[in-house]
A and B are shown apart, each in its own frame.
With several copies, the nearest count.
Chain A
């Protein structure tokens, strides 16, 4: 009998219990909300850009949901600081799995990638590539 040790390494539990960069950002350049209705996970991401308009200066989030989704948002918010919008748009689920450092069952990957998807959609909206109010994942 395991204690869920694999999927809930100390790091994830720590980010879940003490989320980094948590809170709304008043002067965000980009903000966008997403949810995973089947899980009930919701995440809103706030992005502040550097003066060049293509580099991320600061990211914060608010959200509600399972440990995986919330820890993933917390870790991602750190990860994104200083990165170019372009490089963020190129991220995929493998990057998230690597960031989390745990093996995820297929059904839980949906929780893990929500934050990433919200940020990517936020950037796409910012760039005028798509028009949606809200990101909804399966």
Chain B
């Protein structure tokens, strides 16, 4: 079935991921849950162990050698991540613990102070709970209103509706770059342009785009952009918030404590420079350094190559899944989507499917993928989702298809 040449040197890449060798009851793992979390290559794992074995120390203010080494590595990690997404410098890169916290940072530091009755936050029907719940709740607290750009039958944003929904009352447009359920690649530059025409900020949830395609914040003209380490070959416990320097400069702090201050008296405090103003307490030191290494690792493979590889796998999976006619795949056609397919088999509930696939060592996700309102729109409570990364192959998708066929038979 899967005879085409691969864009990536998969054998070489797979050698960096010992976890992919795992077997369950003699069957080798087929890991297709990459939109939830990607696996971590040896160079990143080794960066972590090297940190703890060689230069673990608290950063920023230590004069001793270990602290200097840790500080430099941690600060340079910001530069590296800045470079990875085309930001101007470390001032624009705040390390958080995940994408979710990055959204909350802006919602608290900016939204809670700036939003009020009459103000509108425009989201999309395909937002992840990370942005949807956050803006919904901050809007509730401030008296602002949330509006949702609807999706078309094909699972794309209805851009005409977007033009109407974004008005001079709009203060923030928060949009997912690549949908983690539909696989839709949204026209974020276009949305940013519309938002800016109305003097609104735009927040790009890039959790599913930065890991697998070239993303340039300047090209998008994003005011804010967020993503997570654990979805891009990095460790758990780190996320990134990109923000334009002048905007971050003007915002109030979010978390208070050590490192984020310049001067403290019993009466009041003064804030530190960017980005440290937003990194209170001992930061995610080892995780930041490891994330920078993940950027190196991905850049070595090449983000264009990764994008192409994922498109190929997505199209192949789409075509094979829909061949039988009893599978509904959500979102745009196979040749125009990010590297994932969420679907439902007519006769088998997604959870049952996932359990049955697990018996064949095929790991997919089943559920609402943190997009419950979108699932309501799609008219289903849950879906099964296979999502791909740099180490996946068409042969693995063949195994997925086989296992789906087993389920089909079992429930026939």
Contact = CB atoms under 8 A, between A and B. Distances in A.
Contact of A138 (B27, B67, B68, B262): B262
B266 interface: no
Interface residues of A, number: 27
A105 B63 contact: yes
Given A64-B381, A138-B272, 7 more contacts: A4-B352, A4-B355, A8-B356, A40-B368, A66-B350, A67-B349, A138-B273
B349 A65 contact: yes
Contact of A107 (B61, B262, B368, B406): B61
Contacts of A138: 262, 272-273, 276
Interface of B: 25, 27, 61-63, 67-68, 71-72, 262-263, 270, 272-273, 276, 348-352, 355-356, 358-361, 367-368, 372, 375, 380-382, 403, 406-407, 409-411
A3 B410 contact: yes
B410 A4 contact: yes
Given A38-B262, A111-B351, A8 B63 contact: no
A41 B382 CA distance: 9
Nearest to A105: B68
16 contacts: A1-B403, A2-B25, A4-B355, A6-B359, A37-B368, A37-B381, A38-B262, A38-B367, A39-B351, A39-B367, A40-B382, A66-B350, A105-B63, A106-B71, A107-B71, A138-B272
Main DSSP-derived SS at the A contact region: loop
Nearest to B351: A66
Contact of B356 (A4, A37, A65): A4
Interface of A: 1-8, 13, 17, 37-41, 64-68, 105-108, 111, 136, 138
A37 B372 contact: yes
A2 B360 contact: yes
B381 A105 contact: no
Contacts of B68: 105-107
Contact of A40 (B63, B348, B380): B380
A120 to B, nearest CB: 17
Given A3-B406, A37-B262, A38-B368, A136 B356 contact: no
A68 B351 CA distance: 9
Given A8-B356, A37-B262, A108 B272 contact: no
Contact of B270 (A8, A41, A108, A136): A136
